[in-house]
Amino acid sequence: MWTPLEPDLQTIFSQHERPLDQLASGERPAVVLRNVWSPEQCTSLVQQLIDEELLYDPQEPIPEKFRPQIIPEGYYREGRRHMPAYAWDTEIPQKEKARIDIGSSLGYRGSNREGFFAHSAETNALFDRLFENRDNPVELLYDHLQKLSRDKRVVTAHEPDGCEYGRAIIRAHYGGYTYKPHFDSVRLREKRDDYAVSRFEHQFAGVLVLQNSSLGDQTAQGILHRCLWEPDVDPWLKSATFHEYAEQHKIENVEVHLQPGDLYFFNTRLIHEVPGLSGELPRIVLATFIGFSPDEDEIFVWS
């Protein structure tokens, strides 16, 4: 059975000395740390984001000012190209399925280097202000990652000239926004060899759930497939037929069932997805990418 390591650091360390190595090799699908933040802390942060008009209330029509910020499903850019590249060739993205980012996504903004670092500086200032007088979920995430690494230093990703990446991003997924089966890699997918983060051997995601989208007794949850990306999987990802490939090759998967306040880490080279659920509330997460090499002392975190 291919199952996540959980539910807390103590239990995980009693099974594995170095849990991040288990993610790097793909031996385990995820590290899940339950209830690291309370549901009340999650609700209160989401309310503050709505009050400050950084997110919109899903009960209201989409306010005009958010329209230009909407990121359609499947959107990412490659290398220095300024044209959007869609991860999936098949469908025209739908409008109501909206993603709003609070933060600076390298995947979305990285084709303009100067613009990306200027935007990241603004994000980091915004996060300083947002968490000035409240518990800081970004520090919480970095802190747990540091402990999981045992002896490495966890730092916000930066370039040799000192430019800092955004230290985390808050993403809200409205209207059943879906991440179809995909992988993430600055090295292998986005081909950003002009960024320092591309030197790491492994890329992980660290995601804290702030709000679930639920419909009846269902909630939107991520699925990890036991398949580390290789070029031969690409046609299946691009034509959105990965599930057929998985069936043919008997690829296992796990649904990682999370509540607000749960934090999980996984290897983003694993084919993964978050099927959307058009519930009452958007699924909201605090997300990071993580650069990890077994023989490097530093772990880089960005968004």
Binding site for ligand AKG (CB under 6 A): 179, 184, 205, 207, 222, 268, 272, 274, 285, 287
Q: Which of residues 63-82 bind Fe ion (CB under 5 A)?
A: none
Q: Smallest distance from the beta carbon of 268 to ligand AKG, in angstroms?
A: 5
Examine residue 184 and tell whether it contacts Fe ion (CB under 5 A): yes
CB-based contacts of 211, cutoff 8 Å, min separation 6: 42, 43, 46, 260, 281, 282, 283, 284
Cβ closest to ligand AKG, residue 42 vs residue 65: 42
Closest by CA position to 55, among listed 178, 177, 172: 172
Range in contact with Fe ion (rule: CB under 5 A) among 1-9, 18-26, 182-190, 237-245: 182-190
Cβ closest to ligand AKG, residue 85 vs residue 118: 85
Q: Smallest distance from the beta carbon of 179 to ligand AKG, in angstroms?
A: 5
DSSP labels, 230-294: -GGGHHHHHTT-HHHHHHHTT--EEEE---TT-EEEEETTEEEEE-----SS-EEEEEEEEEE-T
3-class state of residue 170 by DSSP:
strand
The listed partner (ligand AKG, Fe ion, none) that binds 256, CB under 5 to 8 Å by sort, is none
CB distance 129 to 207 below 8 Å:
no
The bridge status of strand 99-102 relative to strand 222-228 is unpaired
Cβ closest to Fe ion, residue 37 vs residue 289: 289
Q: Smallest distance from the beta carbon of 272 to Fe ion, in angstroms?
A: 6
State the Cα–Cα distance between residues 195 and 85, nearest whole angstrom.
19
Cβ closest to ligand AKG, residue 125 vs residue 215: 215
Cβ closest to ligand AKG, residue 124 vs residue 212: 212
The listed partner (Fe ion, ligand AKG, none) that binds 222, CB under 5 to 8 Å by sort, is ligand AKG
The listed partner (ligand AKG, Fe ion, none) that binds 299, CB under 5 to 8 Å by sort, is none
Q: Which two tokens stand for residue 57?
A: 């209330």
* Contact set with Fe ion (CB under 5 A): 184
